[in-house]
Structure 1
C-alpha cells in the first residue's frame, strides 16, 4: 500500500488516468523501494559524505558510524552491481525500508529536498515497472530506446520526475511507448537561429520552435502555440525521434534525475560549431566513431524556449547488412540473447576504450555514458562501430589539439579545459561508470572486462588509471546533498586492484 506523499499522489492520479493500472502500481511499490534504497546505499557507502565518520565490514554487512555517533547497517555493497535490491537498512536499531523515510531520519544538511526526490523516484519507478515488456524484439529504431524501465542503474533519483503527473508520465515517458505530439512556438524578432532551419518549421518571418507538450502546459501556457509533429520519446525523455532520420531535443524545465533539462543560450549558439568540430575529429579514427551532427538550433534567447534538430544515430547503420544502432544502455538486453554474452561485452569494451582514449589523446573528452554512446551492431550481435550524440557535456583541450597540429574550435567557456586530470576523469568516469560497468553488471565481471579491454594498450597514464587506480565516478548522492558546486566527483574501488577490507569499528 501507499505510505508516502508521492506514492499516494501518483496512485490517485493513476486512478483517474488509468484505473486498471492501479493494482499493478501498488504491487510494484515494494520492489521499487528496495531498488532505490540499493542505489542510495551505494552512495552512502562509497561516496565521501561529510557526516559519515567511518565504516567497517564484517560478515556479510557494512556498518557506517555517523558523525553524531549513530550507526547505520546494511548488506555488503558492490559499487558496480546493477539490478540489486536492499529490502531495508537499520539505523540505531530501527529498520527503514523506504529511502525517503531513511533520509528523513538521518536529518542531514539538504536532506529534505533529496528525500522528496527519492520519494518521487520510488513512485515513478513503480509506475515505470507497470509498463509491459515488448511483445517482440525491437524493430523500429526508437524501440531500442524504450526498453529500460528502471532508468539510471546507479542514481538514487533513477526515476525522479517531480512535476510530472501519472497521466503525463504515461503520455511522455519512453518506457510507456507513447506517441508524443509536439507543439510549435512562433518566434519572430527575438529568434536565434543557427544552421539550416527547415522550411516546414517556418511561418512567414517567424521561426517555429518545437515545444514539448509538458513545457507547453507548465511553462509556456501563456503563449500561442500551434500543432507540431509527432515523435517517439527516447532514453532522454525530452528528445524525440521524428521518424525521418531526425531527432529533436526540446526544453523541459523540470529536474529529471539530477538536472533541470533546459537548453541554454550557450548551447544554441555553439551547437553547430561544436558538432562540426567533433565530427571532424571523429573522422581521424578510421571509421570507428560516428557523430550525430546538429543540423540546426533555434530559440528565443531563453533556456525555456529552445530546440535542436539532430541527425538520427540510425543513419550510420546498414540495414541491408543486418546492422542496427543500439544505445549502450540497451546492450544488456541485446547481449543476453546470445550464448557468448561476455565475449560480446569485452569486444564492445575494447572498441569503446580504444576510441575514447584515442580521442582523449587528440584533445577531446567525451562523456560516454549509456545514453550518449551507441553501438552499431551487426547481425550476429557484435559491436562494429560507435555513435556518439549530444555534445553538451564534452570537454576540449586546445593545448592537446595544438600538440597534434589541430586548430582549436571556435568555442569559448565551459567546454574548454586543458587540465589533464580533469580530461581523463571526464573520459574514464563516463565510460566506465556510465557504459562498461552497467554492461558488466558487477565488480568481478567488470574486472574481466577491463583486463581484456586494456590488455593491448600501450603503457601510460590511461592504462594505469584503468588497471591500477581507483576509478572516477560521479558522486550521485553527494551531488544532491551538497549541490554547490552542482557536479562533484569521487573515486570507486577498481575491481582490478581491490581495496583492502576495512576493520571492524570499535
Structure 2
C-alpha cells in the first residue's frame, strides 16, 4: 500500500484495474455459476469461497458505487488488487503464471498514463481529443491497458502524444502494395529507384534486428523522420496525419490488451478487397439511413522481404473522418461517450443532460439501424464496438451521423458473398457463418456499445439531478437507465417493422428477452489463446426485461 500513498496516480489506477477484473469475474464466472446474490444495495458474491460485496448500478455495464469489500475475520474490509488476483487464480485453479503480471502491468500502465497526461496538452481537434480520452480502457478486460515492450508511453494516445513517423525507402522492385496508396507519397520523396514507406518509430525499434541486413545491403534506405507529426488514435497503432487528412494503420506486432497487433499479410490484401466490396453496401445503407458513413481502406504498402517484414512494415491507408462527415458535424469516438465526459464536446454533454431520452433515441437509430441492415440485408457483420464507431454531432449536440471503421473486424456472412477467385488464405478470414456473425454483431452493438453509452448517460443525468445521497443518485440513475432501454426497445422494434428486409429472427428473439452474448475476455486471456478464439457468455438482456437492476441481479 505504500506506493498508493506516495504516487497520486496509483490509487485511481488501482481502482480501475480492480474494477475491470471484478467485472470480468462477475460476468464470466460468478454470474454463470450462480455465485452472485442481491443483498440490500449490494451484490454479494463468493470468489474462491471468500465473500465479496460491491454496490452496482448501470445494469449489465456493472458500474461500481464505492470500493469492493471482502469479508475477513468477521469484518468487511477493502478488497485490493493483489487479493482479488489471488482469489481469481484460486477460483480458476491456477495454470497461468503470466496472468498476475499482466494485471499488474495494466494497473501500472494506467498510473503512468495519468502521470504523463497531467503534464500534456490535449489536441485542439475535438475528434482527436475523444480518441485520446480512453484512460482506463476496456471495462470488461482483466488487463485493459497492458502493453508489451518498452518505450510505449512516448506513442500512447492517452498521453496526448504526437510524433513524426520514420521514413524508409523501399527498393522499387521490392515494393508490395495494392490499391490506392497515394497518401503515403505525400510524406516526401525517395531516392531514385526507391519508394517511400512511412513507419512507426516504435515499430522500427522492435524490428531492429530484422532490418539490419536490408538496410546494410540497400534493399531498404533509412530516410529519417517524416516532415510532420502524426497523432495516435485510440487503437495506439493507427495514427491521423493532419497533412493529408488520412489515417495510417501500422503493424506494431506487440500485445496490446488481448491481441498481438499486427497487419497479417492476408489482412493487408483483405482490407483492399473489403473496401472494394463494401462500397456498394454503404452506398445502399446511406440511402436508407441518411447519416451513415464509413472509412474505406483503399490501399496498403509494404516491403517484399519475407513474411516477418512484409507484415511488420505493412501500413494500411484509411480515409480520415473529417473527409466523410457533413458540414457542421463533429465526429466523436463512441468510446469517449461511454467512458465519461473527458474528450466529449460540451454541446453534446449539455444536450444529453437536457433531453436524455430523445437524444438516446436519435443515437440508437443512427448507430443501430445501419449495423442491423448491413447484417440482415447485405450479409455483412460490422464490428460496431465503441472504438470502431464515431458518432457525428451537430452544433446543438444531437447525433446526426454514424461513422464505421476498421475493416479488420468486418466479416462477410458465409454463403451470402461469392469469394471465388480470392486466395484461400485471404478469403477464409473475411467470412463468418451466420450464427458467429450475429454473436459478434450483437455483442459489439448491444453489450460493448449501447449498454456502456446508456450507463454513462444515466449516470451523468443522475449526477446532475439526483442530489448528493448515494442511494438517491443510484435510484435516479436506475430510473433513467430503464427509460433509455425502453426507448431503445421501441426504436429497435421500429427497425423490425419498417426497415428489416425480411424475418429478423435473432433480433426479434432479443426483443423478446433472449440473453445477450458477451465476449469472454477473462477466459481467453486466462487460456492464453488468440483473441479470435474468445467465446461468449450469456448476460441478462435489458431490451427484454422491465427492470434493469433486477435483470442484472438474477
Instruction: With the length of structure 2 as denominator, give the TM-score of the two structures.
Output: 0.76
Match of residue 457 from structure 1: 495
Helix, strand or coil for the counterpart of 2:165?
A: strand
| 1:268–1:306 CA contact under 8 A, matched in 2 | yes
Choose which of 536, 540, 545 in structure 2 pairs with 1:493: 540
List structure 1 segments (4+ residues) > 6 angstroms apart after TM superposition. 133-137, 499-503
- CA separation of 1:182 and 1:205: change in aligned 2, threshold 3 A: same
Distance of 1:82 and 1:51 partners within structure 2:
15
| 2:258–2:525 CA contact under 8 A, matched in 1 | yes
Choose which of 65, 69, 84 in structure 2 pairs with 1:102: 84
| 1:45–1:77 CA contact under 8 A, matched in 2 | no
Deviations 1:443-477 (A, max 9, x none): 73552453243131326421332451111121121
Gap regions ≥5 residues in structure 2 = 216-221, 339-343, 457-477, 498-503
Shift of residue 437 of structure 1?
Answer: 1.5
Match of residue 102 from structure 2: 117
Match of residue 234 from structure 2: 235
CA RMSD of aligned residues (A): 3.2
Match of residue 479 from structure 1: 524
Match of residue 449 from structure 2: 435
Match of residue 134 from structure 2: 148
Match of residue 126 from structure 1: 111
Helix, strand or coil for the counterpart of 1:148?
A: coil
Structure 2 counterparts to residues 216-365 of structure 1, below 5 A: 216-220=204-208, 222-223=211-212, 224=215, 225=222, 226-228=224-226, 229-243=228-242, 244-285=244-285, 286=287, 287-300=290-303, 301-302=307-308, 303-319=311-327, 322-331=328-337, 333-334=344-345, 335-338=348-351, 339-361=354-376, 362-365=378-381
Structure 2 counterparts to residues 190-229 of structure 1, below 5 A: 190-198=174-182, 199=185, 200=188, 202-220=190-208, 222-223=211-212, 224=215, 225=222, 226-228=224-226, 229=228
Deviations 1:112-133 (A, max 9, x none): 3222111111122123334249
Choose which of 385, 388, 411 in structure 2 pairs with 1:372: 388
Structure 2 counterparts to residues 3-18 of structure 1, below 5 A: 3=3
Shift of residue 82 of structure 1?
Answer: 6.4
Distance of 2:2 and 2:181 partners within structure 1:
48
Distance of 1:307 and 1:358 partners within structure 2:
30
| 2:297–2:317 CA contact under 8 A, matched in 1 | yes
Shift of residue 101 of structure 1?
Answer: 4.3
Match of residue 40 from structure 2: 59
Distance of 2:394 and 2:421 partners within structure 1:
34
Match of residue 90 from structure 1: 70
- CA separation of 1:260 and 1:100: change in aligned 2, threshold 3 A: farther
Helix, strand or coil for the counterpart of 1:326?
A: strand
Choose which of 12, 20, 26 in structure 2 pairs with 1:39: 20
Helix, strand or coil for the counterpart of 1:455?
A: helix
Deviations 1:109-164 (A, max 9, x none): 34432221111111221233342499899535423322332222332322222324
| 1:33–1:97 CA contact under 8 A, matched in 2 | no
Helix, strand or coil for the counterpart of 2:22?
A: helix
Choose which of 159, 163, 172 in structure 1 pairs with 2:149: 163
Helix, strand or coil for the counterpart of 1:458?
A: helix
- CA separation of 1:76 and 1:2: change in aligned 2, threshold 3 A: same
Instruction: With the length of structure 1 as denominator, give the TM-score of the two structures.
Output: 0.83
| 1:35–1:86 CA contact under 8 A, matched in 2 | no
Distance of 1:51 and 1:490 partners within structure 2:
8
Query: Which segment is superposed worse, 223-232 or 46-55?
Result: 46-55
Distance of 1:204 and 1:466 partners within structure 2:
62
Distance of 1:458 and 1:142 partners within structure 2:
35
- CA separation of 1:84 and 1:217: change in aligned 2, threshold 3 A: farther
- CA separation of 1:55 and 1:136: change in aligned 2, threshold 3 A: closer
Helix, strand or coil for the counterpart of 1:129?
A: helix
Choose which of 159, 180, 193 in structure 2 pairs with 1:176: 159
Distance of 1:342 and 1:502 partners within structure 2:
24
Helix, strand or coil for the counterpart of 2:415?
A: helix
Distance of 1:455 and 1:271 partners within structure 2:
33
Shift of residue 348 of structure 1?
Answer: 0.9
- CA separation of 1:254 and 1:100: change in aligned 2, threshold 3 A: farther
Gap regions ≥5 residues in structure 1 = 8-21
